[in-house]
Amino acid sequence: DIQMTQSPSSLSASVGDRVTITCRASQSFNNYLNWYQQKPGKAPKVLIYAASALQSGVPSRFSGSGSGTDFTLTISSLQPEDFATYYCQQSYVAPRTFGQGTKVEVK
Binding site for other proteins (CB under 8 A): 1, 31-32, 34, 36, 38, 43-46, 49-50, 53, 55, 85, 87, 89, 91, 94-101
What string of H, E and C letters represents the secondary structure of the chain? CCCEEEECCEEEECCCCCEEEEEEEEEEECCCEEEEEECCCCCCEEEEECCCEECCCCCCCEEEEEEEEEEEEEECCCCHHHCCEEEEEECCCCCCCECCCEEEEEC
Closest distance to other proteins from the beta carbon of 33 (Å): 9
Q: CB nearer to other proteins: give 15 or 105.
A: 105
Q: CB nearer to other proteins: give 73 or 89.
A: 89
Q: CB nearer to other proteins: give 68 or 101.
A: 101
